[in-house]
């Protein structure tokens, strides 16, 4: 964690020259605070400035947002999940979800099979939070619960059309928990210690997005919860 913070601060320092260049070009400046600009809406700016964020500015916003959230979840432990960096990379997280509705199939299976948590992987794009992270299940393998081949997750929130920059990782995790319970997800009998493959999840998720782009996303009736 210490090395990550040092590298993050060094990145911010080295970015000074690039920021000065943007200033000479008349580019707009936007600092991340508690409210991010909504996708597709121009950032508040002087009339003489550009309304679009440069790639370097967008990346800087994403780094600040990720660092803030990572520090929050590392310091204030949640009852539902914990996070850790993969290979000390700020843009690649493993998320261990340990709590589901105790009456759900998946919670009962986890207790019976001695599984402490469901491991998710979140890969963040350079322009996060303007685009969603790619979230997938790593292990154990889950039947039903809107978990598809490769550990892909069928959730509109994870698509560009369903995503909002206001969503936090905590909100994404809680939506995942709700989705799995609603879909009656359960641990596959033969999949306790087997991990999904990332390339399979990516392929499946692309296919799911294409299907729903063509046919729309189904809103379940109230009796389904």
Q: Which residues are catalytic?
A: 154
Q: Which two tokens stand for residue 216?
A: 């729309």
Strand-pairing partners, residue 123, are 92, 134
Q: What's the CA gap between 212 and 218, in Å, rounded?
A: 9
Q: What's the CA gap between 140 and 136, in Å, rounded?
A: 11
Calculated CA dihedral for residues 201, 89, 14, 18, nearest 10 degrees: 10
Q: What's the CA gap between 180 and 120, in Å, rounded?
A: 13
């Amino acid at each position: 964690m210490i090395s990550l913070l040092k590298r993050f601060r060094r990145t911010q320092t080295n970015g000074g020259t690039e920021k000065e260049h943007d200033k000479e070009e008349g580019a707009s400046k936007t600092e991340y605070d508690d409210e991010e600009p909504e996708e597709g809406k121009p950032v508040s700016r002087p009339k003489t400035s550009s309304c679009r964020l440069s790639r370097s500015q967008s990346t800087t916003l994403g780094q600040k947002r990720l660092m803030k959230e990572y520090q929050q979840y590392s310091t204030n432990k949640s009852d539902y999940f914990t996070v850790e960096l993969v290979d000390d990379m700020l843009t690649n997280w493993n998320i261990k979800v340990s709590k589901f509705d105790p009456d759900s199939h998946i919670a009962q299976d986890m207790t019976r099979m001695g599984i402490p948590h469901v491991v998710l992987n979140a890969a963040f794009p350079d322009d996060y939070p303007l685009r969603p992270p790619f979230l997938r299940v790593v292990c154990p393998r889950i039947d039903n619960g809107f978990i598809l081949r490769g550990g892909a997750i069928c959730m509109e929130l994870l698509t560009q059309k369903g995503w909002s920059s206001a969503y936090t990782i905590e909100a994404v995790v809680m939506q995942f928990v709700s989705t799995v319970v609603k879909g009656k997800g359960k641990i596959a009998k033969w999949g306790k210690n087997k991990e999904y493959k990332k390339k399979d999840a990516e392929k499946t998720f692309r296919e799911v997005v294409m299907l729903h782009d063509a046919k729309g996303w189904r809103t379940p009736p109230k009796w389904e919860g």
